[in-house]
Amino acid sequence: MAMPDDKRLTIEIDPPLFLNEVKVNVCDFGASTDSQVCNQLPFQLAIDHCKAIGASTLIIPTGTYYFHSDPTQGAYLILNGLTDFTLDGCGSELLFEHPKKYIQIINCSRIRLCNLVLDWNWEIAPLASVGIVTYVEPNGTFFDMKFPSYKEIPEQWPIRIVGPYDPVRYSPGAAGGIEYRPYKNEHAIMSGQATTDSQMQLLVRELSNVILGMEKLSANTMRFFTTDAHWTALRLKQGQCYNLRHYEYDTVAITLFDSSHITVDHITLYSCPGNGFVGNGSIHHIHIKSCKITVRPGTDRSISTTADCFHIANSQGYFIIEDCDFGYAGDDCINMHDNTSMGVRRLDDYSLLALRVQKNALLFREGDQVELRNPDFSPLHYCSELTEVDYDEHERVCRLTFKDVLPAHLDENTVLFNRRFSTNHFIIRNNRFWNNRARGVLIHGSNGIVENNVFDSIQGAAIQIEAGCESRWSEGTGVHHLAIRNNIFRHCDLNAWQMAIIYMGVYLPGGRTSYPIFSDIQIEDNTMINCPRMAMFLSSCQHVTVKRNAIINANQIPLEEQSYGSSQQERPVYDEAYAGTIHIVKASDVKVTFNKCLTTTLQYEKTIYADADSTRNIIIEDNIGFD
């Protein structure tokens, strides 16, 4: 059984070469810590000067610098085409006011960004607000929420999404809480394939269009009028606590594009109306070290980034995230994937129309190698070079012409992998992921190590290994050669999003696949404490080892109870029935050995369950404490 090891995963990030001692000071270009001064232009002039003269370092003298303007170029600070360069913040803080990229790094090589604090000006626009349900009209036509952080609720106060918040711990996730969007969800991409579109929409499992309108009752209390009175009366209860996000995917703090050998260290990000770090394109060899994303001390903020802390997609891989502290994000701490698409219409021997395609997500271009897969991810044994690409962005389709003759028959749900991208080869170690909505680490990439991390109070699965296609997005080409070891998981999957602390599975309109899209995976020497449901759910996999793990106080909620896996607390996806502390289904060649299950409180299940009809060659032996 082939497994990952340190030798195969050696990743070396080249630091900047100090070719000279030329240092530039931003204050020489007009930068100032005066709160009335906008520093966008002085900083950009200094950066451009460094590029022009080949300076090795740009120094930001310690202080707080304000960025008031709304930059027309889409980013406040742009590092374009720099090589062997260091931007040293010297502990300075940059404060931003408009939802534009804080820092954009593009076409750069061997650069270092370090010693900076980045934040959003909450006095201008808060990113989220915590509210307590104070009253629910018995007939469900409206409910009231009080927002104790405010003396006066702002006039401009959009609400993007609402999620459960623990009123005692003041952190994401709460027993019995629900999540919903006030407005109708417009993220879905429809193709005209009625059956598949409907099946994909079922996978979304996100409640939307809940609120008809709202009315301010007092300085810090709002009344919300509802679209579904019955649902409101049934689900909303007085005393429930929710976090209302006013921004979601509006911008990025630090974006990396078409760059290599980038080191980002000792950066603290207190908040951003969007993602923290985003990387895509021809990027590779990225090192995120000793960075922190969390709420600002001394404040009652409820969120850091309104989306992911670290999001890397459609890349060339090779990245290290170590010694970091990520928490309080509005989405995943880490999300790594390559985008795919499902749905085709064969036009002729060389051309097809790809459906449900967003140009900025798929990035097809001439010369790309594109692989076709069956709807269950099994190989079609066809991969060919694109000779022509023609997008229709309005219809969200793309005509692709291939160098080689297409298969004579293509299922309408054929899946496309753009093999130009390979978000693989990664090391995630010595980090803390905590107090976070969504997942700790969402893995769609191969050849990785996740080790020596602490996952604490994650609303969804701590580690989610996944691939799939639904109406909002299609992500992941499979996960192979992955080691998960020496991690501590405590109080994760708070709302049973995926029913397990470590979840491995697909989301496809046709249901779970028997094809092993996940293979050669080790889960060893981890400690899992306080699992509301299962410790592990393993499916669509082959050659998996689960060894020497300690599982303490799992299955504290009966598995047959309704799941928070969606916003409506109905049955789990695919109407599955779950069993055991470790559940194995549609899998082969799985070894579960030398694990220990310990209980100091009520536990409803203590078994290792392998579905007899869909698994083969499952070895379960030398485990302690299981029934």
* pLDDT average, residue stretch 420-431: 97
pLDDT digit string, tens, across residues 580-615: 999 999 999 999 999 999 999 999 999 999 999 999
pLDDT at 187: 64
Gap between the Cα atoms of 305 and 294, Å rounded: 8
- Least trusted range by pLDDT, from 187-196, 336-345, 548-557: 187-196
* 78 in Cβ contact with 104 (< 8 Å): yes
Instruction: Give the whole-number percent of the chain exceeding pLDDT 70.
Output: 95
Check if the beta carbon of residue 275 is closer than 8 Å to that of residue 197: no
For 75-83, what is the mean pLDDT? Answer: 98
Q: What is the pLDDT of residue 423?
A: 96
First to last CA, the chain: 28
Q: Lowest-pLDDT range, 169-183, 260-274, 544-558?
A: 169-183
For residue 95, what pLDDT is reported? 98
Query: Residue 203 has what pLDDT?
Result: 67
Residue 566: pLDDT band (50, 70, 90) is: very low
**Residue range(s) of every CATH 2.40.10 domain in the chain:** 342-418
More confident residue, 52 or 1: 52
- Residue 569's pLDDT band, with cuts at 50, 70 and 90, is low
Interval 483-487 mean pLDDT: 98
What is the average per-residue pLDDT within 408-427? 96
Over range 515-538, report the average pLDDT: 97
**Of residues 607, 496, 618, the one with CA closest to residue 546:** 618
Banded pLDDT at 162 (limits 50, 70, 90): very high
Written as six digits, the tokens of 359 are 């140009």
The tokens for 460 are 């969804």
pLDDT at 174: 83
Res 572: pLDDT: 66
In CATH, the architecture of 342-418 is Beta Barrel (2.40)
What is the structure's pLDDT at 119?
A: 98
Q: What mean pLDDT value characterizes the chain?
A: 93
- 194: tokens are 């009625």
Could you please state the CATH topology (level 3) that the domain comprising 439-621 is classified under: Pectate Lyase C-like (2.160.20)
Three-state DSSP class for 112?
Answer: strand
- Render the burial of 210-241: b for 16+ CB within 10 Å, e for the rest: bbeebeeeeebbbbbebeeeebbbebbeeebb
Grade residue 205 by pLDDT with cuts at 50, 70 and 90.
low
pLDDT single digits (tens) 290-307: 999 999 999 999 999 999
Q: At the fourth CATH level, which superfamily is domain 23-123+249-335?
A: Single-stranded right-handed beta-helix, Pectin lyase-like (2.160.20.10)
The answer on pLDDT for 3 being more than 70 is: no
Q: What is the pLDDT of residue 4?
A: 46
- SS percent in the chain: helix, strand, coil, step 5: 5, 45, 50
Which is more confident, 434 or 495?
Answer: 434
Whole-number Å distance between alpha carbons of 83 and 262:
10
Confidence at 140, pLDDT banded by 50, 70, 90: very high
Instruction: Locate CATH 2.160.20.10 in the chain.
Output: 23-123+249-335
Looking only at the bridges linking them, the beta strands covering 310-313 and 334-337 are parallel
Q: Tokens at residue 67, please?
A: 């960025």
What pLDDT is recorded for position 231?
Answer: 87
The residue with greater pLDDT, 572 or 291, is 291
* pLDDT of 319: 97
- Alpha carbon 90 to chain centroid, angstroms: 30
